[in-house]
A = this chain, B = another copy of it.
Amino acid sequence: MKIVCIGSGNVATHMAIALKEVGAEIIQVYSRNHQNAEILAALTRAKAISRWEDLNRQADCYLIAVKDEVIASVAAQLIGLKGLVVHTSGATSLSSLSLLGKGYGVLYPLQTFSRTKAVDLKKVPLCIEGDSPESLERISAIAHLISPLVSEVDSAQRTILHVAAVFACNFSNHLYHLSAEILAAHQLEFDLLKPLIMETAKKIQNSNPADVQTGPAIRNDVDTMKKHLSLLQDKPALQEIYTLLSNSIKNT
């Protein structure tokens, strides 16, 4: 299995390394920025390229892991190749690759990647989609090299997954940030809350979140909620979030 990795960011890095580890050959890493291509190429024993005319046109698979807004323009460089072309974006539809005619699809890893933190891709759900049953089968084979958690998810469902992930993860992280700010304003360490944050995320691995909801709102503990709002009186933005989310908890 010969793969060309297009992109050198977090997703490209984690995917290329995982594919290399399971025996795929990363033959080239493309990045507009040659230095970035060199870094990932060195990690995967690939050749770094930064000009489309240097593209190896004999690969089995071209993995596009670039910013959403440049996926279509990358695809335009890949017309006429025999190899499978897949993008890795949660927010981009399959049709962004339709200019390729056939032999394309999506391989979306549902995880957040940081450059400096290893992620075990074997535990990451991979959402796949293909332009045809044949493409889907080829993408499925590549996906299963990386993780057993492979699900067929179409473009409409992938968009829904993305919104749901914004709620569950982007917004949760922001709430961690707000709570750290509240603590810092009162000379309290955010470390105090870290075990509770871990436990909250652990709890829902085996329970329905609705069944393990705790706190003043679910108890309709009006006195505590009033007290909390008065503590936030110099922070109207936090009061607004507190009120809206408490009401949402009460209404569900």
* Residues of chain A whose beta carbon lies under 8 Å from any beta carbon of chain B: 68, 91, 110-112, 114, 117, 119, 123-125, 127, 149, 151, 153, 156-157, 159-183, 186-189, 191-205, 207-210, 212-218, 221, 224, 227-228, 231-232, 237-238, 240-242, 244-245, 248-249, 251-252
Contact = CB atoms under 8 A, between A and B. Distances in A.
Given A117-B203, A196-B112, A199-B112, A170 B241 contact: no
B125 A192 contact: yes
B176 A224 contact: no
Contact of A244 (B68, B163, B213, B240): B240
Contacts of A117: 203
A200 B125 contact: no
A168 B196 contact: yes
Given A166-B215, A197-B201, 14 more contacts: A119-B199, A149-B195, A159-B227, A160-B231, A165-B193, A165-B196, A167-B179, A169-B193, A169-B196, A171-B175, A171-B241, A172-B176, A174-B249, A180-B210
A205 B199 CA distance: 12
Q: Is the interface of A mostly helix, strand, loop or mixed?
A: helix
A176 B202 CA distance: 12
B157 A193 contact: no
Contact of A175 (B123, B168, B177): B168
Given A212-B173, A214-B173, A167 B192 contact: no
A178 B125 contact: no
A110 B192 contact: yes
A15 to B, nearest CB: 15
Nearest to A167: B179
Contact of A208 (B162, B180, B249): B180
Contact of A241 (B179, B188, B193, B244): B244
A39 to B, nearest CB: 21
Nearest to A249: B174
Nearest to A147: B195
